[in-house]
Structure 1
């Protein structure tokens, strides 16, 4: 049983609070001890780094429950080494929660990636989108061969997720975990808003052997 879904046009401040009450009732009807177990602690095996887009909720699209996935989200699922928020989440996930998988998940139709492909000034977010333009620059030979705008758009979404996964792998946090023998894998995925399906980009790293020498730390 699931709480009644509210149409977007009908969402109000009060309806959100009522929706919470309905959800709690439904969960307790299914499992009276659900919140006792949930409040006892968390032990998620996965860290999800995704886009802030409201259409890409990690739990729903993977058919998991609260407590199953630790989540960090930002505009266009960007991963950069100067983002202390992301690094703090990663450090806690790896060293305290001992997650076994870190997944960087982009999504086709991402507004941030689309904005990065254009030349129109958006605002302060332009500084953030510069990271995606750097991904384009790193793969400019491949990108410039694509004449279809949609194909180019989709490919940059994929490359942004792949480079994000590589940046996770190159952190001292992940490398230290691997050096200590901790079980940990890093993956790159892309979600399709049109089909609801996740595409595994077949980019998985599980050991120090996958780290480029220039980024290895000791």
Structure 2
């Protein structure tokens, strides 16, 4: 049985997972009304859980320290209420080694060691090197899809990660390389980071402690 998270919980959680998002971006990610998200964020701002700010011409929302604590409290309550903690814990355990493979692939996409420069930038002129990286991303993606499916079956908010990852890879296959690790779109790398943050927040695990 798939459990639906409360809209206000998704509004708060979306701020953490999406990283400096607008209300419309959170609404689009979770299929909510923009007005519902905006109203929740304004309420959270009054409580000191989120703040809105502008940076480099963009504006968005971010969590305060107390907002981060409240987010994790709500997620923990959701796990207990839906009896899904064991499933999420099991998926996280399977994700950890997969995350290492993905991290190595992303490094290889950005860096191609040369004889006299072990940190040489990958200029993507060696198609064999890039093809090997893309095969790894595809293989990792298949395992990633399985993990996402397990989570989405019990918590609906995890739905969407696998489809967007596959969509990004298809764009890469069409020659749009920025969809591997671009920071201005739902690239493979961005989606992976969001999913990882989602797991960490859900289980209350400090970032960097599960490597």
TM-score by length of 2: 0.27
TM-score by length of 1: 0.26
The structure whose residues are more often helix, as a share, is 2
The structure whose residues are more often strand, as a share, is 1
Larger RCO (alpha carbons 8 Å, 6+ apart): 2
